[in-house]
Amino acid sequence: MASREFSLIDNYFKGKGHQRKDVVLGIGDDCALLSVNDNTLLAVTTDTLVSGVHFLADMDPRAIGHKAVAVNLSDLAAMGADQAWLSLALTLPDANDKWLAEFAGAVIEVCDYYGVTLVGGDTTRGPLSVTITAQGKIPAGKQLTRSGAKPGDWLYVTGSLGDAGLGLALLQGREEASSDHREYLINRHCYPTPRLLAGQALRGVASSAIDISDGLASDLGHILKASHCGANLFLDKLPLSQALLGTVSLEAAWHYALGAGDDYELLFTVPEAQKGALDTALAHCGVKHSCVGQLRGGEGISYLNHGQTVDLNVCGYEHNWS
C-alpha cells in the first residue's frame, strides 16, 4: 500500500482480527509481506486511483494506465521486491473502445517493460477508478521497511523531487512554464518511473525505505514515526531539476519538493558504515541518488539551508482524508 493511505485503514482494520503466522508484516508499510516458503517473502500492495482525486478526469488514458501500474510497482520498489504479477480492477462509466484500447495498451506496455504479468482482473460499470494489486518476491530477511532507521543514518533520495507536483500545477493552470520545461514536468506527473532496480539494489544496504507519494516531508514522517527518530533535512542538498528551478523560485521549489508528492522516487536511510557500499550498489540503476539529510534522536524534521535552520511550514499533498 502507498503511504497516501490514510488513517482510516489504521483506525478500523490494523491489528484487528485473526493474524496468521505466515503474515510477516501486515497493514502499515508500503507492502504486506507474506511467507510462502523458507527463502522467499511475497510482497503485496494495493492502490486505487480515482478519477478527479488521483488523476484529472480528462487525463490521457495512457497516462492513467501507466500511472496506475507505476505507483503500485513503486510500492514494491520501496520494499526491495522483485516485481512479478499484477491484478487489475477497472471500473468504467461506459465501454469506450478507444479509451480502453489506449488504457490497456499502456498497462501492458509498462508490465512488459518491467517483466510483470497481468494475471487477472475484474471490470465493472461505475464511476472511473482503477485498483491494482501488485505482487513481488523478496529473499527472506532482505526486505526494506519503514522501521529500520537509526539516529546517525544518512537520508537519501533517488532522482529529483517536486517535478510531478509542478507538472500537476501546470496541467491545472496554476503555474506557467516554457514549453520544454512544461513537457518534462507534465511527463514526470503523468508517467512516473518506479525505481525497482534501485530498490532491489538497496537490499542489504539501506536501513529503511519508502516511496515518495505524498511529498518528502510527509513520507519522511512515516519513516521517522516507524523508526522512532527525528531528522535534519538539508534544503541546499535537495535534488531539484533545471525545469523546476527554471520555472519557480527556490523557495517554491522547496515546497514542491517537500510537499507536493507524486514523485514516486525512493526515500531511504543508510548507516554510515554502508555509505561506500551504496555508491557501488546504485551505480548501474540508471538513476542518481542524493544525500539530503541525517537522522537524529528526538522526533520531527528540522530544515537546514547551508547549516542554518529555516522555519518552513510544509503541507503534505493529501489525496485523501487524514
Mark the segment that binds a copy of itself (CB under 8 A) among 3-11, 222-230, 233-241, 307-315.
3-11
- Which of residues 92 and 166 has its CB atom nearest to a copy of itself in the complex? 92
As measured in angstroms, the least distance from the Cβ of 111 to a copy of itself is 5
126 lies in the binding site for a copy of itself (CB under 8 A): yes
- Which of residues 226 and 252 has its CB atom nearest to a copy of itself in the complex? 226
Residues 66-125 that bind a copy of itself (CB under 8 A): 84-85, 87-91, 95, 100-101, 103-104, 107-108, 111-112, 115-125
Residues 234-273 that bind a copy of itself (CB under 8 A): none
Whether 235 and 165 have beta carbons less than 8 Å apart is answered as no
Whether 42 and 251 have beta carbons less than 8 Å apart is answered as no
36 lies in the binding site for a copy of itself (CB under 8 A): yes
Binding residue count for a copy of itself, defined by CB under 8 A? 73
Burial of residue 312 (number of CB atoms within 10 Å: 0-12, 13-18, 19+): middle
Kindly tell me which residue out of 8, 228, 272, 299 binds a copy of itself, with binding defined by CB under 8 A: 8
- Which of residues 112 and 299 has its CB atom nearest to a copy of itself in the complex? 112
- The terminus-to-terminus CA distance of the chain in angstroms comes to 16
- Which of residues 232 and 320 has its CB atom nearest to a copy of itself in the complex? 320
Residues 170-189 that bind a copy of itself (CB under 8 A): none
Mark the segment that binds a copy of itself (CB under 8 A) among 126-134, 188-196, 233-241, 256-264.
126-134
C-beta neighbour count of 154 within 10 angstroms: 19
Q: CA 259 → CA 154, 220, 255, 315, 317, distances in Å?
A: 21, 11, 6, 6, 6
As measured in angstroms, the least distance from the Cβ of 289 to a copy of itself is 27
Cβ burial 95-122 (10 Å sphere, 16+ → b, else e): eeeebbebbbebbeebbeebebebeeee
Identify the DSSP state of 235: G
Comparing CA positions, the residue from 111, 235, 222 lying closest to residue 161 is: 235
Mark the segment that binds a copy of itself (CB under 8 A) among 20-28, 188-196, 231-239, 248-256.
20-28
What whole-number distance in Å separates Cα of residue 54 and Cα of residue 52? 6
What whole-number distance in Å separates Cα of residue 266 and Cα of residue 141? 20
209 lies in the binding site for a copy of itself (CB under 8 A): no
